Amino acid sequence: VNISSAADPFFNDQTPSEDPTLLFNKLGIKKPFILYTGGADPRKNLKNLLIAFSKLPSDIRESHQLVLAGVIAKEEFPKLLETISKNGIDQKEASHDEE
């Protein structure tokens, strides 16, 4: 039996459900961004993602944001903030939405 990997046409509507500009403003996204989607549990290695971002050339860091989209457990959030602080990532570069 062949199981096609194509999406049903129902999923092909690419019209955003919300104005992207309003959404970006709401989430504090003000520049082009690097997007991570997924959980924030330790096995996802977000600590090393933050460290890698901190080591990018300053012109790239100044012109881009790192956006983490997903659930961050309450016990993981302080650890990520500590990694941000220890690696010189400005708090303006790190925003989150608790909704």
Alpha-carbon span 5 to 26, nearest angstrom = 34
Residue showing tokens 């933050």: 50
User: What is the reported pTM?
Assistant: 0.74
Instruction: Dig out the tokens for 45 from the structure.
Output: 């290695």
Q: What pLDDT, on a 0 to 100 scale, did the predictor assign at position 2?
A: 62
More confident residue, 31 or 13: 31
For 48-57, what is each residue's pLDDT tens digit?
999 999 999 9
Residue showing tokens 């309003």: 22
CB of 46 within 8 A of CB of 36?
yes
CB of 54 within 8 A of CB of 87?
yes
